[in-house]
Each structure stands twice: as C-alpha cells, then as structure tokens.
Structure 1
Amino acid sequence: MSEEACRRRRRRSLVLDVAMAAGFTLLDTASTLLGLSWWPERPGTLAWVLLGVQAAACLSLLARRRAPLTVLAVLGVFTLAVTLLISPGGVLVPAGPENVWAPFATIAAAYGPLYYRRDRRLAFAALGAYTLVIARVWDPSVGVLTDAVLRTAVGPLLALYFDGRRRVVRMLTERAERAERERGLLAERARAEERARLAGEMHDVVTHRVSLMVLQAGALRVTAADEQVRQAAEELRAAGCQVLDELRDLIGILGAAPEPDAPPSAADFAALVAESASVGTPAELVEEGDRALASPVVGRTAYRIVREALTNVRKHAPGARVDVRIEYGQAQVRLTVRNTPPTGLPDGPLTGTGSGLGIAGLRRRVEVVHGTLRAGPSPDGGFRVEATLPSYVPT
C-alpha cells in the first residue's frame, strides 16, 4: 500500500472514530436525561457531575483502536461507580431502578478488544468482568441480565465476524498474488525452454555449416600449391574454429549445455599483442593473478575485448602505443586497454571498413555475462577501454 493510500486510510479512520464517539456521547446523554438509564427524578449536583463524567467516558471511544482495553476499563469503572452510588451507597436514586445503568457506548467499546488485539484471552476476561458489573449479579433481574448480555455480546460478535472476513479477504488476496507470481514464473520458464530449444537448433545448423567450411579450408591448406593460398586457407580455418567457440559460448548462456572448454591462454593474448606489433602498433601485455579463476566464457569475452580494442587502435590511432592489463581475481576480472595519442592521421579507407558497432557489440556481450564496459577518451588524448567481468559465469 502506498504512502498516500495509508494517509487516506488514517484520515477515514479518524473521521469514523470522531463521529462514533460524538454520536454515542449524544445518544447516552439524551437517553440518560429521558430516564432510560440511571437519571434520578430530582437531579442534583452529583447527577450533573456524573452526566459530565459519562460524556467524557463516552468520548474515550476516540482511542478504541489504539487502546481498546483502556476504553473498556474507563466505561467499566464509570458503570461500577454509578452502580455503587445507587446500591449499596444509596446516594443516587434512579427514576427507573430496573434500567441498565451502563452507557450505550458499551456496544462500541466491546467491539475493540476482539478486533484490534491479538491476545484475546485478556479481552474475553475483561468483557466477562464488565458483563458482571452491568448485570448487577448481586441484585439479579432477568431484564437487566438480558440487556447486559446483549450490550456486551453484540460488539464482540461483530468483531469476530469482521475479523474473520478480513482474514479471508487477506488470504484470498495472497493466494491470488501467489497464483499470479506462479503464472509469471511458469511463463518465464516456458520462454526460457523455448529459447534454449531454438538456440540448440541454431547451434546444430550453424555448427554443421561452419564445420564444413573449416574442413574445406583445412583441406585447401594441405592441397594448395601456392603459399599465399595456403596462408589464406589457414586463416579461414582458424577464424571458423573461433566462430565455433564463440557460438558455443552464446548457446551455453542461452541455456543449451556446451561441451567443456578452456579459456584463452596467455599465448592467445600474446598472439594478439604480437600481431598488433607486427603491423606497426606496439603493445604491451600485463597479466596479474591466476588465469584459472576466469571461466571459459569470461576468458573469451576478455579476448574479444582486447582484439576489438587493438583493432580500433590500428584503425583510428596510427603510431600509438597500447598497454593491455588483465587482473584476475576471485570475484572479478578487470581488463584495461589504453593507448597513447596517435602520431599520424588515420587511413580513411581503412577506418571506413568497419560497421561502427564494435564497442556497442562488445557492450552487449559484456552485459550478457553481467559485466560492465566503459570506453572513452583519456585525459592525455588517447583512448581507454575498461571492462569488469565476473570471474565465474556458468554455461
């Protein structure tokens, strides 16, 4: 329930309590003056004082939610005092000796202890004692006894009814909310299963075709007479193998069970750095920590980040030096690729060969493994790519 709804509910409760207290005060004052209660034929100072005390006791209904037993005790003490003043005190002589001397506010007061309190044993004990006071069991009368039981029974019966109704409504509401949550979970599970099924089918189809390409490239590397053709076939075969590895990672994340695989080794990262240096972009690799802490998916994601970052440096920052730092930790793998400012102008045709979506694609891939990626210019005029990945991602 929102805060505004709670405020509206408290205002409604306050208005209801004020109206009820004022209503019962007027009702009891009027009925007393009409001789329906303890009012004497010739009222004196004591009678008028008691009438004021009765009005104050009825106004205690304002606290019936916060202190229901206190309200019941106030009305009970007033009723007992009036009863003792009449008999055996004889100080007050009512016009109707067979009337019930308790205020009508007793009905509302008897409602509170059973509805607003969890411990009902004390409530039942208080109501029983109050019933004995109203019924004047030391001076029994059938009419008074009947009226006393009705006044102290109507409120509790209503309290038990409304409390039971409230519990039933709450239970039905919780059951409906639980059913809604279960339907949502079942729908999510069905979507996940369908996604895994489609991912498995896609894996089977794509893997089959790419595997054929890899085999054909391998055969061409062996049979070709031209060295350049053999080199191109080897590059094609290696690229196809890498595609299969990355496809296996993605399918594993989507829910299909991949075969066990190892993350890229130090030689793989070193090969990227050496490849970058061979084309005129000096790069330095620093690895800290135990590489075995990173699961295969995390290792290959780090590999793709380094590869994309080095590719961007070659395209957009000719002459820059690159520092690659990878830190393996128990919980996280931190990766930083930073290059110095370029010393020359980028090659226009080369920079136009890309799709412009390399960093965006990396960010999506990093988000899939619940990591973060930041890329942007550094204060010295270079460029910096930072990634934080969880060390373990199940696939």
Structure 2
Amino acid sequence: MGNVRLVNTRGRVKRRGLRWASRREAMFDLALMLGVQATLVVVLWAPLHLHGPEGLLIQSACAFFLLFRRLTPLSVLFVMLASSVGMYFLGRWQPDLMAGMVGDLNQGWIVLAVPFAVYAALAYSPDRRRAWLMIAVIFLVATRPGDPVLLERLVGLVVILGISAALGHYVANLNERVQRAERQQHRLAEEARAEERVRLAAEMHDVVTHRVSLMVLQAGALGVTAKDPATRAAAEDLRAAGCQALEELRDLVGVLRSSPGDMIEDTVPPRAGGEAALPDFTELLSESESVGVPVHLDQRGNPALASPVVARTAFRIVQEALTNVRKHAPGAAARVTMRYEPDRVRLTVRNSMPTQRVDAALTASGSGTGLLGLRQRVELVSGTLHAGATEDGGFQVDATLPAYVPTRDEPSIPPQLPRVRGIA
C-alpha cells in the first residue's frame, strides 16, 4: 500500500485560511511586490537625501501589502484607501514628509501600490461594487479637494486609475466567461455520465441478472433431485451464493439507475421480501490473521443504520485494504475503525510500518488499480475516499459513506424507523 499517492499537493502554497492557487502565482506576487519596492527606491532616491527616508519607508510599507492582493484584494485596497487619506492630511501638516513620499507636490497624492491594488480588487474580488466605491474615494482624495485643480493632475489620476480599473474589470469578465464555460462542460459531462450509468444498468439487468438467475434455479433443482447429501449441500451453498449475488446486483443496478443528485431519505426503510445476509467482517478479519496480518477491529454504533449496498461497499474497502497490507506491508499490524452514525458511516483502515521485506513477485501480481477501483465504487454511492502514507511509515485508507443510498428498484414502503435528522 505504501507507494500509492492519490492526492498530490506539490506546487501548492497553503496558508492558514488563505492560499494561492499555485506556487507560480505566489512567486509572481512576491516578484511584483519586490519590483514595486525597487521602483520606489529609484524614484524616491533624490527626495530621500533632501527630506529623509520616512517617506520611502511609508511607501514601502504600503507596497508590502501587494503580496496579499490575490488573497484579500478588498483588504489591500482598503489599506491603499487609508494611505491616500493619510497622505492628504500629511500634505497639509507635514509638507517635507509629503515631498519625501511623492517627490512632486503638484501631482496626485497616491502611493505607487495603488494601481496594482485597484486592478486586483476588480479582477479577484467577487464584491466589485465595494471595490468601485473605494476606488472612487481614492480618486476623490488624490485630487486634493480644496486645492487649485490642475488639469495635469486630473489627467494623470484618470489615466493611472482608469487603466488599472479597466484591466481589472476586463480580466474579471473574462474569468466569469471561462467559469461559465467550465460549468457548461461539467454539466454536459454529468449528463453523458448519467446516460452511461443507465446504459450499464440496463445491460447488467438484462444480461448478468438473467444468467445468475438461471444458475440459482439450476442449483435449486440440483439440490432437490440429487441423492448424495454432499451434492445437495454444495447445491444449496451455490444457490445461497447466487441469491446473495442477485441481491448485490439489484442494489448496484438500482444505484446506477439513480441520479447522483437524488435526495437521500431521512430514514432507513426495510426491504421487501427480506434481504441477503450482510457481509461478515469477522470472517474477513480472521482470514487476514490466518495469513499473518494481525487486525484489531474497533466498531461503534448500530450497523443496522447502514443499508445493504453501503455495508457491502464498506466490506470491499476493508477487503482491498487488508489485501494491500499483505502485499505491500508484510509484518505490519492493521487496525479497522468503523463508526455507524445516523447519516453516515466512517471507515478507516490503518496499518503500521512493514517489518519484513516486500515480496516483489507478490507485489507485482496485482493490477495496480485496486485503490482507484475503490474510489470509483465509493463515489458511486456518493461517498468519499482518501488514501495516503502516515507519519509513522504506515498507510491509511479513510472512507466516508452515506448511511442510506436510495435505489430506484426499491419499493415505496412506509418507513418504520424514527427520523434521524428531525426534518418535518
């Protein structure tokens, strides 16, 4: 089990509560921030010698927030708005400090990071109305109301802020069109998948179920006509196995015919005509222990809350996981944890670090698609499955399944159990 990786987080830069979509985006924002800082040093180098370094330090502090322009664009724009208001009052109370920040006191009073923050707020924020409001306030403050209006100052602010805002608005609209196209493509794929599910269900019902039914009938007839007790017992075992296979096929066909978005009922309805025996986990664990894999079972809750198709899916997960332990982690111990809750089933299979050498021939005997098949089987019943290495050198398979999966083959029977979610 040790060399299978289903989740690849390589190239992702994650932060607590925030994250960049990729490492490339993070590096670009870092380079942009450093580029603005370098530009500030070049532009304000002469005023720095005349008026001191305070203005450059304030500009650099504002530019630092560009590092988070994708993560919290409105917050960064608000910082720029606050800096513009602060510069307005600094220009009146501390002209020397203001000259150290902008160089030319006749120009608009904004920090160099403002155009980039304006672009980000419109391109990445879903609340563009608030972004436009803050941009308007920044423009108004930067024009220095109360001072003589200079055409050059107005034209400069319109060009700087207008181009940044127009680019941000264009990119936002472009992203929205891309997202709509992706949603449309996803919807078409879901429709095609649903049609394929229905086709597979029809083929299984018409071909496989028919053949298995014939086998069950022939086994029943053999059990009645055979004179040898051993033959009758074998025929009865074959008939019982066939009946259980028919029950599983019925569940699977019903799930395939159901839409993935169907509402899951609040109750676990009884099944008409009785139901096939549920999988025996004790026998499966004993089988693993007999071949040298010690397994500890921790089971809590009421298994009756899970419908048969869910119970059989859980059985297949445990079976495949323990098989992989035998193949890929010889000498390791395994622990199976099952939690039956009113609305879901939590299942975890975890093994320790292998203590023996891996048999290359045994490892190569499989198809290598066991976990992939499990994931597809779990998704078929609207569950989730995660698998990966643990910190202690072992491996863990963690699955969450709905307690009840409705199928279209199930008759409508008045529920006998109390509601478990309290929905009236």
TM-score (norm 2): 0.47
TM-score (norm 1): 0.50
Task: Name the structure with the higher helix share.
Answer: 1
Which structure carries more relative contact order (alpha carbon 8 Å, separation 6+)? 2
Larger radius of gyration: 1
